[in-house]
Amino acid sequence: MASGGNLAVLDALDSARTQMYHMKAIVIAGMGFFTDAYDLFCISTVSKLLGRIYYPNENLDHGKHKPGKLPDDVNDMVVGVALVGTLMGQLVFGYFGDKLGRKKVYGITLVLMAACAIGSGLTFGNGNRAVIGTLCFFRFWLGFGIGGDYPLSATIMSEYANKKTRGAFIAAVFAMQGVGIIFAGLVSMIVSALFLHYNPAKSWKEDPSGSTQPAADYMWRIVLMIGAFPALATFYWRMKMPETARYTALIEGNAKQAANDMTKVMDIQIEAEQEKLAAFKAANEYTLLSREFARRHGLHLIGTTTTWFLLDIAFYSQNLTQKDIFPAIHLTSDPTEVNALQEVLQISKAMFLVALLGTFPGYWVTVALIDKMGRYLIQLIGFFMMSVFMLMMGVMYENLRDKHVALFALLYALTFFFANFGPNSTTFVLPAELFPTRVRSTCHAISAASGKAGAIVAAFGFQKLTLKGDARSIKKALILLAVTNMLGFFFTFLVPETMGRSLEEISGEDGNNNEAGAGAGPGAADVSRDVEKMPVSSTEWQSSMHA
């Protein structure tokens, strides 16, 4: 049905067979997400080292016989400042992606990420204030560039993809985040091992002042600066990508240019339909703040923002139990038993193994199944299972920690698995499909920024609940996170299924006015195809479905 009123250039994209250019687009967009994840997560491997180097007496000043650590407010800044930058970057680049075009601002994000990754390893002046201040400055702008990659990569991939495998293509771009997390652990592990080999030292317990090797001050800088290389490696190819045909045709109003651009890069023949485009474009001039948008997509935007917000509270709080699990399964030692570089090596190894065994598989199971099971079902299952596992860890926390370590580690890994084979992937995919071309990048940006607001709540809120590390606080936090996930489960009902339909059919841009709100759940696509046969209006039908 949608194809009947659709433009030839859009029909050609929707029905195009999967070909090399699709794979190339996944790699180009995916390397951005690889870099994003590496840059965001590598700081976790070296943050304790920064404490040993620049605040060696922080614990001793508070009566604790332990190695130095970052003061709580400084640690919050170092870890959280990139999240704040990411939130702001998402909103700014998402807006300009709709106003100026996806391609025009796509390269800027990579340049910013590369420059600030290098800057993160540099310092102005001497002393801890200068080093930490410089690090936070560059990591804010690094996050700003990373934020731009979220809406632009998702939007570009959704607009290039065919409707049969669109979900898998967008999910594959996001799955590169898992690869980036693995490499953050791997690179930090290799660099720290090399430095440790040439700079051996006694443990902190044996020699408090000598346990922090002077060379360690170079080690963390190298790890952060390596994040610039994957961004620089793909910059040329990003600049060679043409603007998406949907943006060129539907926003710029140039059907001929859209047809020419796609013919050059994909093995398809497209007819330009300038007259038909004018009518198509005129029917979709409404803006984000219009009543028409609120009528068609208001609930969808509420659904995508709330689910992403709730997910990221839980996702970024999952390290609450790491300090118990890692030592129990002998991944990390007591900080007093190791020197500075040994601690980095152990943390990096633990991060690598958790990402490889718990995080990474979930992403790619989503890629394999998202166009078979649908986004809606995967998101529901993911939220539900995360809630169950976190509730189990919360209720049985002390028993698991002290007596059933293997089960504790399994529940922890399964929580990560169902986050990624679940809402961590689908909340990225759905906003790239649900909204019309004119505001697609902006709506994805708003949804993603809502997610980062959840991450900030996790970093500054939930972490505060458990600073003392007492079992009661951690139990409360885990049970609260289980409730958060269950809220995400229920808010998912605001988000419809998008599988198997064109972007224009989903958004209502094809003029048939049976946009995605016409149904939710696995059968939405089938139901929407029958809606025209029903003797009731679209509004009445929606009301009856939601009653």
Domain CATH for 463: 1.20.1250.20
Q: Note whether 246 and 437 are within 8 A (CB).
A: yes
Of 222-236, 367-381, 496-510, which has the strongest mean pLDDT? Answer: 367-381
Q: What pLDDT shows up at residue 540?
A: 35
What percent of the chain is predicted at pLDDT more than 90?
Answer: 42
Percent residues over pLDDT 70 in the chain: 84
Q: pLDDT value at position 282?
A: 59
pLDDT for residue 41 is more than 80: yes
**What CA–CA distance (Å, rounded) separates 469 from 449?**
30
- All residues at 6 or more sequence positions from 115 whose CB lies less than 8 Å from its CB, including other chains: 228
533 domain residue, yes or no: no
Ramachandran assignment for 103, one of left (phi > 0), alpha (psi -120 to 50 degrees), beta (any other): alpha
Q: How far is CA 220 from CA 302, 406, 441, in A?
A: 40, 32, 35
- What number of other Cβ atoms are within 10 A of residue 186's Cβ? 17
CA dihedral (493, 495, 496, 501) in degrees, to 10, reads -160
C-alpha 367/C-alpha 363 separation (Å) is 7
User: Is residue 167 a contact partner of residue 323, using CB atoms and an 8 Å limit?
Assistant: no
**511 part of a folded domain:** no
Q: Which residue has the tokens 């509730």?
A: 391
* Residue 538 domain-assigned (yes or no): no
**Cβ–Cβ < 8 Å for 176, 34:** yes
Residues 6 or more apart from 440 whose CB is under 8 A from it? Answer: 98, 155, 158, 159, 432
* Exposed/middle/buried for residue 395 (C-beta within 10 Å: 0-12, 13-18, 19+): middle
> What is the domain extent for residue 217?
8-505
Q: Would residue 241 count as lying in a domain? A: yes
Rounded average pLDDT over 52-57: 89
Secondary structure of 339-358 in the HEC alphabet?
CHHHHHHHHHHHHHHHHHHH
Nearest to 343 by CA among 205, 222, 182: 205
Residue-wise pLDDT for 154-165, tens only, equals: 998 888 888 888
Predicted local confidence at residue 532, as pLDDT: 36
- Measured from the Cβ of residue 126, the count of other Cβ atoms closer than 10 Å reads 8
Residue 521 reports pLDDT greater than 60? no
Does residue 152 fall inside a structural domain? yes
- Does residue 270 belong to any structural domain of this protein? yes
263 Cβ contact list (under 8 Å, min separation 6): 269, 270
Give the whole-angstrom CA distance, residue 388 versus residue 385.
Answer: 5
Does 514 have pLDDT greater than 60? no
- For residues 289 and 291, what is the distance between their CA atoms, to the nearest angstrom? 7
Give me 350's structure tokens. Answer: 């633990």
Tell me, rounded to whole angstroms, the distance of Cα 208 from its chain centroid. 39
pLDDT digits (tens, 9 = 90+) for 265-281: 665 555 555 556 665 66
pLDDT above 60: residue 445 = yes
361-381 average pLDDT score: 94
CA 107/CA 116 separation, integer angstroms: 14
Average pLDDT over residues 447-462: 89
Neighbours of 207 (CB within 10 A): 12
* pLDDT confidence band for 172 (50 / 70 / 90): very high
542 in a structural domain: no
Find, among 192, 480, 165, the residue nearest to 320 by Cα. Answer: 480
Task: Say if CB 479 and CB 337 are below 8 A apart.
Answer: no
Question: Tens of pLDDT along 268-327?
Answer: 555 555 556 665 665 567 778 888 888 888 999 999 999 999 999 988 887 656 666 777
Distance (Å, rounded) from C-alpha 83 to C-alpha 456?
7
- Structure tokens of 68? 């130095």
What is the count of structural domains for the chain?
Answer: 1
Dist. CA 450–CA 318, nearest whole Å = 18
Closest CA relative to residue 318, chosen from 357, 353, 359, 356: 359
Q: Exposed (0-12), middle (13-18) or buried (19+): which is 493, by Cβ within 10 Å?
A: middle
Tens of pLDDT, residue by residue over 17-32, are 777 777 888 888 888 8
Would you say residue 3 has pLDDT above 80?
Answer: no
Q: Is residue 527 part of a domain?
A: no
CB 4 within 8 A of CB 529: no
